[in-house]
Amino acid sequence: MARRTRQVGVVGRFGPRYGVRIRRRVQEIDEAQRASHVCPKCQAPSVRRRSSGVWQCRHCGHVFAGGAYRPVVTTSFKREAAEAQPAEEGRKSEDAKEAKSAKAEGA
């Protein structure tokens, strides 16, 4: 049976509105927040979003704080890694560690 619509996923509800790039960004976030994620406690793929930043495992009942749209936010880790990389090239690795720990204390 032929598909009636293109495979636009959850953002099909927007129709042609708002532009493709914005819809794609919404789709990425929206699908992540609705998907089941792996539980950090019992490893079951049963973690669902309860509300913004609150995640609950439907298998063991474990409730924990995470990102607003996904249980583990990777963007901040990526940014820290990208900032640490050029610093390590010029200096010793110990200096980079000190800078990182000082930064963590300040934040």
Residue ranges binding Zn ion (CB under 5 A): 39, 41-42, 44, 57, 59-60, 62
| Closer residue to Zn ion, CB minimum distance, 43 or 93 | 43
Nearest CB to Zn ion, comparing residues 39 and 96: 39
Per-residue tokens: 7: 């495979």
Minimum CB–partner distance for residue 52 and Zn ion (Å) = 20
Work out how close the CB of 64 gets to Zn ion at its nearest, in angstroms, rounded to a whole number.
10
Contacts 24+ apart (CB under 8 A), 11-15: none
Sheet holding 63-65, edge to edge: 47-51, 54-57, 63-65
